[in-house]
Amino acid sequence: MYHQPVLLQETITGLVNNLDGVYVDVTFGGGGHAKEILNKLSSEGKLIGFDQDKDALKNVINDSRFQFVQSNFKNLKKYLQFYKAYPVDGILADLGVSSHQFDEPQRGFSYRFDENLDMRMDTNKETTAAEIINTYPNQKLAKLLFAYGEVLYAHKIATLIEKSRQISPIQTTGKLAEILIPALPKGKENKILSQIFQALRIEVNAEMDALQLLLEQSVEALKPEGRIAIISYHSLEDRLVKNFFKTGNAEGKLHKDFYGNPLTPFKLITKKAITPTEEEIETNPRARSAKLRIAERIKN
């Protein structure tokens, strides 16, 4: 399977509140969530799917109600306007890396394989993980490992990488793991390697910047009472989504009008994040860290 959709029913139930509406799945991938949205929509409904990964083209749905856009979701507004589908009734984002991307060795997302340090979701982009590992100054490398991977040993790891690359360039996932594993605490190697690979992937694909742009555009892109559902997999993403849904800005600062009423474009549909059941985690272990948040555009 390309990708087993996470929190499928919870997401679709919370997202689709107009069966004749126009919806956007900005992380189309294997089309799991998209197919379920189309199943729920009437013959008048429409769905637009975004994905920057050309592999997602293989999963395009043969349905007159569906339109595929091969682009990063940071370009949401531009393409919705192009297809005369602006504003929309709902937006869905299932963030992170798909099972397919993890399981394709040549993509370089996993240290389980010894392949080129790539990690590009859009393979037309120039910057790869190898370029970051081999060219970023020590301080810059340590900063991104701490910020995007929450790696406690960021400076130590950055220094180790710097020393190793002076001897010879680090070009593969296996080589990077081989350099790092001896220096990591026993029993925590896999966890810390995952954090390091996560940080590199976020940097390569500018994921946090793209997410912030998506959230900012969603305010105008959603009709009144339109909904946005976002599934995140690490605390950085979830914190940004939580802050934006609550306050309408990335900082999480709630502004109020002259009378003390909160100035926010959203009302929360999920007061707390929805997480997978034990049954879902058992059948799909990659769902373990998923958090779903849903908000509704307030009428002006």
> Comparing 218 with 103, which gets the higher pLDDT?
218
Average pLDDT for residues 181-193, to the nearest whole number? 90
**How many other C-beta atoms are found inside a 10 Å radius of the C-beta of residue 84?**
7
Res 102: pLDDT: 46
User: Residue 200 carries which side chain, given as an amino acid letter?
Assistant: L
Which pLDDT belongs to residue 260?
81
Q: How many CB atoms lie within 10 A of CB 258?
A: 5
With cut-offs at 50, 70 and 90, classify the pLDDT of residue 60. Answer: very high
Q: How many CB atoms lie within 10 A of CB 89?
A: 24
pLDDT on residue 153: 86
Which residues have a Cβ under 8 Å from the Cβ of 248 and sit 6 or more positions away? 219, 255, 263, 264, 265, 266
Q: What CA–CA distance (Å, rounded) separates 240 from 231?
A: 12
pLDDT digits (tens, 9 = 90+) for 122-171: 888 889 999 999 999 999 999 999 999 999 889 999 999 999 999 999 99
**Sole residue written with tokens 């026993």:** 186
Q: What percent of the chain has pLDDT over 90?
A: 74
Q: How many CB atoms lie within 10 A of CB 231?
A: 28
Residue 25: the pLDDT is 97
CB atoms closer than 10 angstroms to residue 54: 12
- Is the sign of the CA dihedral 233, 239, 240, 242 positive or negative? positive
Q: Find the mean pLDDT for residues 189-205.
A: 92
Residue 274 is classified by DSSP as B
Compute the distance between CA of residue 217 and CA of residue 229 in angstroms, rounded to an integer. 14
What pLDDT digit, counting tens, does each position of 201-258 carry?
999 999 999 999 999 999 999 999 999 999 999 999 999 999 999 999 888 888 888 8
Assign 44 a pLDDT band (cuts: 50, 70, 90).
Answer: very high
Average pLDDT, the chain: 91
The two three-digit tokens of residue 43, written as one number: 């013959």
DSSP letter, residue 116: B
Tell me what pLDDT residue 100 has.
46
